Amino acid sequence: MFYYPLREVSIMTIDLIISRLKNRYPPGKFNSRDPFRQLIATVLSQRTRDEVTDRASGKLFSKYSTAAALADADVSDIEELIREVGFYRIKAPRVKEIARIISNDFEGKVPDDMDTLLLLPGVGRKTANCVLVYGFGRDAIAVDTHVHRISNRLRLVSTKTPEETELALREVLPKKYWRYINELLVRFGQDICRPVGQKCGVCMIGEMCPGRRGE
Ligand code: SF4
């Protein structure tokens, strides 16, 4: 068994980790989602399971398919459509306001740079990076709880917050992997490297993991 401390994780090891994860979880297509839908769905997804987000955003977009249409919607109707998601009463006026800003200030087009995205209500770095990766096909690193936890378990980084993890991963991870890392580690984190009860005994990258637990 061979372990690597944080600063000595070699590119070869990172290549191997990514290759095994890609093998198990073939990445989907990027830049295949409309940026506005990606933005709104990501805001809805905060503290909500993926399948619930998909259902709620599907209902929302089937009635309000553009920024202009959503900007004109009644908040009570948005609430009704998205009521499955966590904090829907907070998110309903928020997505309406985002839609209003996109419609009025950006001619209905989502901005494609981090600084401008961060000016939108309820949009932090994770949401902005998701829009850049999945909406625009850009090289960016979207760090959610899975990416944060697993990157630390693998000692790719040693960080306290997702924001720190994003900055640290930008140093350690070759750019060609940035856009894939979110999807790969989310799927890996739901399947094997779970928040609790991680399945180290069947982990396909276990021999490279300093955080591996005995079975
Ligand atoms: S060995 Fe365990 S802790 Fe390490 S990546 Fe695999 S499942 Fe996660």
Asked if residue 120 lies in contact with residue 135, where contact means CB atoms within 8 angstroms, the answer is no
Which among 135, 159, 190 is the end of a domain?
135
- Please tell me the predicted confidence (pLDDT) of residue 47: 87
Nearest alpha-carbon partner for 133 in 33, 14, 18, 203: 33
Tokens of 109: 């087009």
Query: Over 70: is that where the pLDDT of 215 sits?
Result: no
CATH number at residue 121: 1.10.340.30
- Please tell me the predicted confidence (pLDDT) of residue 31: 54
Which among 135, 156, 173 is the end of a domain?
135
Mean pLDDT computed over 35-56: 94
Specify if 1 maps to a domain: no
Query: Over 60: is that where the pLDDT of 3 sits?
Result: no
Q: How far apart, in Å, are the Cα atoms of 203 and each of 182, 183, 198, 207, 209?
A: 18, 17, 9, 8, 9
Distance 165 CA to ligand 1 centre (A): 18
Cα(130)–Cα(64) distance, rounded to whole angstroms?
21
Residues 114 and 47 in one domain: yes
Residues 47 and 109 in one domain: yes
Query: Among 209, 213, 215, which residue has the most ligand 1 atoms within 8 Å of its CB, making it the best to mutate?
Result: 209
Tokens of 184: 């790969």
Q: How far apart, in Å, are the Cα atoms of 122 and each of 43, 94, 169?
A: 7, 7, 24
Position 214 confidence tier, pLDDT thresholds 50, 70, 90: confident
Asked if residue 131 lies in contact with residue 42, where contact means CB atoms within 8 angstroms, the answer is yes
CATH number at residue 176: 1.10.1670.10
Tokens of 90: 């907070």
Residue 189 Cβ < 6 Å to ligand 1 = no
How much of the chain exceeds pLDDT 70, in percent? 94
- What's at 54, amino acid-wise? D
Cα(11)–Cα(176) distance, rounded to whole angstroms?
12
The residue with tokens 């309000």 is: 64
Nearest alpha-carbon partner for 139 in 187, 173, 168: 173
Q: Give the closest residue (by CA) to ligand 1 atom 2.
A: 200
Specify if 213 maps to a domain: no
